[in-house]
Amino acid sequence: MQPLPKIALAASDYPRLEKLARVAAQQGDATGIFLAGEIDRAKIIPDEASEVASVVTLGSWVTYWINWGVPSRTVQLVWPDECSQDPSRVSVLSPLGAALLGLREGDRMPYSVGGCLNLVTVQSVSQSGPNVVPLFRRGTTARPSSPGDDPGPTAA
């Protein structure tokens, strides 16, 4: 078996992650126990460090593939309460989410689902969505070019 990759956590995520993992582990949740162990071995880095951009953190978009030949997939790592039924979101309290947390491009991490050992490989990490287009560009505001362009409240 290969050694586990070094992982890092953003300082702002650490308190909530630690509490989430501790509570889940106390309830006997296997993923909570795994996550708590990962948090214990992680390097905590300041949010403003340039290194954060290349690390899978909460909110990151991650493209990965798994050892059993499934094509690569892109998901966002989120808190459990943000997961809902959206297949593009993976909870940090799921086996895959806990395994992805703190990894960098090229890292490989073993994790278990239903007694089956899997190996996830991170292909890429992004801190913004894969197809997200900003509604407004920085430094610009949406306002009429002249007072005559504003139809006012009667336009509806």
Share of the chain above pLDDT 90, in %: 69
pLDDT digits (tens, 9 = 90+) for 124-135: 999 876 554 444
Instruction: Give the residue-averaged pLDDT of 139-143.
Output: 44
pLDDT digits (tens, 9 = 90+) for 46-70: 999 999 999 999 999 999 999 877 7
Asked if residues 75 and 60 have their Cβ atoms less than 8 Å apart, the reply is no
CB-based contacts of 58, cutoff 8 Å, min separation 6: 10, 13, 17, 77, 78, 79, 92
Q: Is the pLDDT of residue 137 over 60?
A: no
Q: Is the pLDDT of residue 143 over 70?
A: no
